[in-house]
């Protein structure tokens, strides 16, 4: 995963504004966001929050991880390129948590 990028101000603000505790999402929203995270983990062989159930992940950490993955995933094959496009398409909605 690419690590040498300069975060944009909007990314920094999004992380700072997110609460440092897990959000009480509806069952449907929670499942959607968890599925987005798990899809990336499966596609790229990552484990973003080892040993931590999704419902216990603080929103700030989750948003920060999504942004890092969005900016740093580098597909190395056509298959991974396709997976990256699908995952990024879902990220747009998974990072739009309620205020």
Distance from C-alpha of 38 to C-alpha of 44, rounded to nearest angstrom? 10
The pTM assigned to this predicted structure is 0.67
Quote the pLDDT of residue 21. Answer: 94
Residue-level pLDDT at 36: 82
pLDDT in tens, 10-61: 888 888 998 999 988 889 988 888 888 888 788 778 888 888 888 899 999 9
Which pLDDT score, from 0 to 100, does residue 20 have? Answer: 94
Spatial CA neighbour of 46 closest among 19, 8, 74: 74
pLDDT given at position 23? 86
């Amino acid at each position: 995963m690419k690590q040498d990028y300069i975060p944009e101000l909007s990314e920094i603000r999004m992380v700072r504004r997110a609460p440092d505790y897990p959000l009480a999402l509806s069952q449907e929203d929670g499942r959607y966001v968890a599925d987005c995270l798990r899809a990336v983990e499966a596609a790229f062989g990552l484990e973003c929050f080892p040993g931590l159930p999704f419902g216990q992940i603080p929103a700030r950490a989750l948003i920060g991880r999504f942004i890092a993955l969005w900016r740093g995933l580098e597909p190395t094959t056509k298959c991974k390129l396709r997976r990256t496009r699908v995952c990024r398409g879902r990220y747009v909605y998974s990072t739009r948590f309620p205020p």
